[in-house]
Amino acid sequence: MVRATDVRDRERAGGKRSALVNHSGAISSAAMTRSSMRGEDAMLDKNKPGPGHSSEGRDLSGRTIVITGGAGFLGSHLCRHHLEAGARVLCVDNLSTGRLRNIEDLLEGHDFKFVKHDIIDPYEPGEAIDYIFNMACPASPPKYQLHPIRTFDTSVRGSHNLLELAMRRGARILQASTSEVYGDPAVSPQAEDYRGNVVTMGPRACYDEGKRAAETLFYEYNHLHKVDTRVARIFNTYGPAMDPEDGRVVSNFIVQALQGHDLTVYGDGTQTRSFCYVDDLVAGLMALMYTEGDLADPVNLGNPVEFTILELADLVLAETGSTSALKHLDLPKDDPKIRRPNIEHARDALGWEPHVPLIEGIRRTIPYFAAEIAQSAKAQV
C-alpha cells in the first residue's frame, strides 16, 4: 500500500518511476522506502503559490471574458477565478457534458451570464468582449466516443467560429488543446516540438485529430489574420467539479473505492499518467492567457511527475480506506502507454509550474466525490 511519505518523496525525486516498480508492475516496498529517504520537496511545494498561481492579485475589472464549455470541469473553475478577479463572465455551454450544477451558485450574479449554445453554430455575444477561452469539447474517452462526429465538429467548426469571433472583436483567444495530440508517444517526457505517434483512424481519433486540426486553425488565424492566439496542451487533470460518471481514471477510482466496488484497471496497470490538480492547471491557463508577449506557439500544461495506474489505485485505496479489489480489463484500443509533460517552456515563458502533490490533490478531491455520491443517493430515495 502506498504511504503518504512515499508519494510525497516520489514527487520530490522528479517523477521517476522505474526504481519504484518491479518487473511485474507492482510497487517495490523496498524501493519506496529508499525513495522516501530522498531530500526535501524541490519540485512540488503546495505552500508556494508561484507566479500566476491563482486569480489573487490579478485585476480584470471592466473586462468581459467568454468561456465556452463554461459549465464543464475546467470551464467552471475558470468562471469562478475570473469572477474573483472582477471580470464579467459569459459562460457558454450546450450542457452535453457540462453540468448546471457546477455553476448554479453563480447564476444570480450580475457579472455572470449563462448562455446555452453549441459552438458548432456561430456565437454572437451581443456585447463587447476582451478574451475567449475555448474549453468546449468532451475530454473523457467514453463521452467523446459516444458522438464522434460531433466531437470532431466541436473542435474544428467550433474553433473556426470562435476564431472568427475573436477576429471581428479584436479579442485574444485561448484554445484548450490536449496532450492527446502526441498520440501514444515514443519519447518521454513530451516537449512541444515532439510531433507525436498518432493514429488518424481509430476510436480516439475523433478527439485527438480534432484537437490537432484546431491547433492548425489557430496557427493560420494568427499568421494570416494576426489574431492574438494562445494554445494550451493540457495533460491529465483532476479535482472537484468532475462528473462522477466522467469515465477517466481518477474519478473512476475514487467513486469505485467510496462505493466499495472493484477498481477497474485497464491492461496490467503499468501504463503511466501525470496527474495535475485543477487549481494548478487553471493557474497555468490564466498565466498563459494574461502573460504579455508572443505566445502563439503551444504550451504544455500539466504535472511532470509520472505515476503508474497501479500506483494511483493503491493511493486511492489508502486515502479512502477502501478494501476494494482491483479488476483488470482489456486495454482500450490506442490507449497511450506513457504520458508525461516537459513543462520547461511554461516555466520559462510563464513562470508557472504545478505545486499540489498528488496525495494532497487526492485528499482534496475525495470529499467532493463523497458529497456527490451522497447527494445522488438522496435524490434517488
300 and 354 in contact (C-beta within 8 Å)? no
Distance CA 58, CA 49 (A): 14
What amino acid positions are annotated as catalytic residues?
207
Which burial class, exposed, middle or buried, applies to 350 when counting CB atoms under 10 A from its CB (0-12, 13-18, 19+)? buried
E strand map for 119-222: 131-134, 172-178
Residue type, 249: V
**Which letter, b or e, does each residue of 129-143 get, where b requires 16 or more Cβ atoms within 10 Å of its Cβ?**
bbbbbbbbbbbbbeb
Residue 198, C-alpha cell as written in the block = 498518432
Q: Which residues contact 350 (CB under 8 A, 6 or more apart)?
A: 51, 52, 284, 287, 288, 291, 299
Residue 66, C-alpha cell as written in the block = 467568454
The 10 Å Cβ neighbour count of residue 371 is: 11
